[in-house]
Amino acid sequence: MTSQILRDARKYEMEMERKIAGEHRPVFHLSSRVGWMNDPNGFSFYKGEYHMFYQYHPYSPFWGPMHWGHAVSRDLLHWEHLPAALAPDMEYDRDGCFSGSAVVLPDGRHLLMYTGVSKEVQPDGSTKEVQTQCLAVGDGMDYEKYVGNPVLDKAALPEGGSKYDFRDPKLWRKQDGSYLCVTGNCTAAHDGQILLYSSPDGFRWKYEKILAANHERFGKMWECPDFFALDGKQVLITSPQDMVPQGFEYHNGNGTLCLIGSYDEASNTFVEESNQSIDYGIDFYAPQTVLAPDGRRIMIGWMQNWDTCNLHAPEIRSWFGQMSLPRELSVQNGRLFQRPVRELEAMRGQEVKYENVAFTDIIKLKGIQGRKIDMELTIRPEDEQNVYRKFAVRFAQDDKYQTSVSFRPYESIIKVDRKHSGSRRAIIHQRRCLVRDDNGSGNGRIKIRIILDNYSAEVFVNDGEYVLSATFYTDPSADGISFFADGRVVMDVVKYELA
Ligand code: FRU
């Protein structure tokens, strides 16, 4: 039975979609059907298609009572919107259906696990949101909330665990047919921890243990965990709130954290070996992964930043929020690598290619422009004994605007900069990332692949060892590209239009 609240949302999004049909949007990044989008939810492969749900407030381009939006795709790039899947329509989720995940049950049904939010009045009259974990079962279109909801509440918390910060379940099915799930939580001292739960059937859940704890290292509350095996290692990803930087890792604010280590399944013991940021740009949060049928681990994040998402470009009124590119993950030498999904190659149109372009100062190259492009730059110094001081590529450029990526080999720092991208606010416009030197970046050798899709740039450095993502909302007619060198650079460029 569909509730009136869900029926209203479905009617509204259909009507609005027609009205805003001509609006500019990203082309191959999923954006909200109408209104607001945040975290990716329920990323799964079901009945021959990838399903992506998302935190959704259809009625305005700002965060509000959370619904789950829904879209499907066969190639992770061409998305088709489906009717909203969940609405805040029950006692236990009346103030929001927060983030969660999905699995396919052995009987072919699609099981969603999400956080139900309901406000509780405090002794001083203020309210606080109580968070519990809930289920909904469906067929890829319509979902029925489980009669036994909530399936995890404060009774399933470890001592001191907060019932107000208990959210974002990510569940998966084990080889033996039973289920595990991780959730974000925090201690009485507001320190992040990841909790592990088990279930024989996906419906009856039991607390197991604290899988990982922050110990005041990386921000405060840990949101949106995911936990999976990859290339002989175990990976825990989470999105900590309120981070402070550590050197060039972990920018201020809500960021992303990847812990790589080992895992003993019998005792559910995760031993950390290394940690890193997942994305070094400005806009990336709350990523979630799916295991593709061919064994690839693919990740999509929300390509926005909580501290700037109330500052919309005036031109974009009816929708806000987009997902990142789907990224194929691997672990190499103890680090997480990310590459754009290979499906993107099928979208490549005309190729424009230059080799051994030696230059200094500013150049433009015929045929190198565009706002929906896949462009790879291979950079080296002309003279190994006299390495250039700075290289930059400027894109989304016209007389007034530009966004840029620059690299300084002496510092081994790559930077994304969008301060000339139309912003009128005193917010973060640049982010820098220290590039490890093993492959010679100090000698001025670097590979930079840039994917543009109207309102975003995702920069993959040295075959995905570092990624910097940033959104910008200048008019897509600003599509110029130019290159700059302080010193002498030699560059290969290959660029494809994406359509
Ligand atoms: C992360 C988050 C989640 C929560 C959701 C609410 O961006 O805060 O923890 O489930 O957003 O929309």
| Active-site annotation holds for 39 | yes
Encode 256-295: b = buried (16+ Cβ within 10 Å), e = exposed. bbbbbbebeeeeeebeeeebbbbbbbbbbbbbbbbbeeee
Question: Given 3-state DSSP classes, what are the helix, strand and coil percentages for the chain, each rounded to the nearest 5?
Answer: 5, 50, 40
Residue 281 is predicted with a pLDDT of: 97
Question: Which residues, including other chains, have CB under 8 Å from residue 60's CB and lie 6 or more apart?
Answer: 35, 36
Residue 436 is predicted with a pLDDT of: 84
- Beta-strand pair 257-264/285-291: unpaired
Question: Rounded CA gap, 347 and 343, in Å?
Answer: 7
Contacts 24+ apart (CB under 8 A), 248-254: 248/280, 248/413, 248/432, 248/433, 248/434, 249/275, 249/276, 249/277, 250/218, 250/219, 250/277, 251/277, 251/280, 251/428, 251/431, 253/305, 253/306, 253/307, 254/219, 254/223, 254/285, 254/305, 254/306, 254/307
pTM for the model stands at 0.97
Residue 440 is predicted with a pLDDT of: 52
Could you identify the atom of ligand 1 that is nearest to the CA of residue 168? Answer: 10
Residue 499: exposed, middle, or buried by beta-carbon count in 10 A (0-12, 13-18, 19+)? Answer: exposed
Question: Which residues, including other chains, have CB under 8 Å from residue 50's CB and lie 6 or more apart?
Answer: 43, 44, 72, 73, 74, 76, 290
Positions of the chain with pLDDT lower than 70, given as ranges: 438-442
At 448-486, the pLDDT tens digits run: 999 999 999 999 999 999 999 999 989 999 999 999 999
Residue 358 Cα, ligand 1 centroid: separation in angstroms?
A: 47
Residue 457 is predicted with a pLDDT of: 98
Q: Which of 8, 39, 165, 463 is catalytic?
A: 39
Residue ranges lining ligand 1, Cβ < 6 Å:
38-39, 55, 66, 98-99, 115, 167-168, 223-224, 285-286
Q: What are phi and psi of 346, to 5 degrees?
A: -70, -15
Could you identify the atom of ligand 1 that is nearest to the CA of residue 254? Answer: 7
Residue 312 is predicted with a pLDDT of: 82
Residue 439 is predicted with a pLDDT of: 57
Could you identify the atom of ligand 1 that is nearest to the CA of residue 99? Answer: 10
